[in-house]
Structure 1
Amino acid sequence: MKLKRFIFALAAMLLSFGFTANAQNEAKIGDTEYATLTEAVAAVQDGETIILIADVKLTAQVEIPEDKVLTLDLNGKTVNSVFTGNSTTNHIYALSNKGTLTINGNGSINSRGIYNYGSLTLNAGAINAIDGNGGYAVNNQSGSTFVMNGGVVAATNEDDHQSSSGGYDATALKVPAGCEATLNGGTINNVCDFTFAIEAKGTLNIPATSTITVNGTHGAIYVSGGETTINAGTFQIPADEYSRTDNVLYVSGGSLVVNGGTFIGDSDTA
């Protein structure tokens, strides 16, 4: 009886000191665990891998500095950004990459998107833009490079087609002037009614070995500048969109060279 009382007392004491929270650390580098993803990014050394060990809810954007070279292994976990609750109904951008970032592992990042100012490679996992009033799942900036070997880049929220401030749906992939993007594989999805899956104004290259699939409700690729070269891949809009003015490819500027690929839906030029 005394032994049972001692065990109960010990358990109560451990609970009072919070020793049950071991699993709450969000990430690890090697054998060292970190309470937050932000702390892990601050500690990571060049060439190291941050592995998520729990789902992450971000209340502030995680910045990867210019001098960082790292891999983020999603490890089947989710990264969700906080909803700001302001008049334009935005979530925050989850990441701002100014360094060299590779994303591996099944899992997902669900937010307004991620900024890429540096070098970003996506091998696996899903990057989802979840706002219905703007944002880019991968928001590349001038001077950046983006390589997609696998995984999913998607604009998923089709509910709030226009916000009170006049913004439009989210877009999956932005390739602005001064950016170079190469799509080797994976899937790009855009379910929104007013935006294309890819906006290309920079250099977009889809090589002959590519297995990329691009699905867009409004259209797959909108070329308004730069150079877009398509050698392979599948590009399509839903069959019920054919009767509308939507086009799988639409060109209003720049150059588009098509050497291969499968296209399901109409194409047009401005």
Structure 2
Amino acid sequence: MLTHSDIRTAYEDACRQEIEAFKPGNVHVFAEGHDMTVGQFLTSANVSSEPLTDPKLSLGTRIFEAVRATRNAVGTNTNLGIILLCAPLMLAAETNTGDLRSNLDEALRAMDLEDTAAVFEAIVLASPGGLGSSSQHDVREKPTVHLLEAMREASARDSIARQYVTSYQDIFERGLPALEAATARGESAMWPTVFAYMEFLSTFPDSHVLRKHGAEIAEEVRQEAAIVRATIGRNGDREDRIRILAAFDGRLKQRGINPGTSADLTVACLLVHNLRLRLA
């Protein structure tokens, strides 16, 4: 059975592993950007981990309090997507029966309208880039449906919402296999994380890019990511890989393009991996 300390450490480690990996277009230790720093992300992980593992709080309240702690600490939205994805996983990990994915479904279904309202408040507080109004289930209004219904309505345009209504399909069936395959072929250090990130970025248009820049640019980024992923997959030389990633990173940041959702999915993937290692 995992303790709250185990789960908290698994989450903080996942956030650190993600920020230490070269993720083109995103903030990482090789190059910051988008008016955000590595330190802000590490601080965000630290301050959000406590409410996310507070056994006295419901799932929705954990999400709201984690967002509020982050906002108070760094003054900007560094981790809304991370919190939305990781909070249900962390709650699911507290259950000592069944497997993580089945426990995840139970945790999500157990949420009520108060949880939904707390999640809506968290999203508004974080003010994510590109957030607009919605004709259905607008987060600025009092919710009238379960969170899963609201996420279902948004799932076609938002990859994080899609995880809620597909039992985290992209995490368990895309990101994790990419990370584990990289590890199995001898990749080490940051490289399994890089390949998980590139799997997300090259498979479907990044939601954050889609909201801020539109479908054409989001698809353009996805296609370029597919080429970069294939290139570094064929070339095992570290310096060549870094050069290729740095060039892609520079092109994206010069245009103000931040594939933040792909990075959020990567953290969730790493969290599941870390939790499984602790359960083994």
TM-score range (shorter-chain normalised) is: under 0.3
Q: TM-score, normalised by structure 1?
A: 0.24
Q: TM-score, normalised by structure 2?
A: 0.23
Higher relative contact order (CA 8 A, sep 6+): 2
Higher share of residues assigned strand: 1
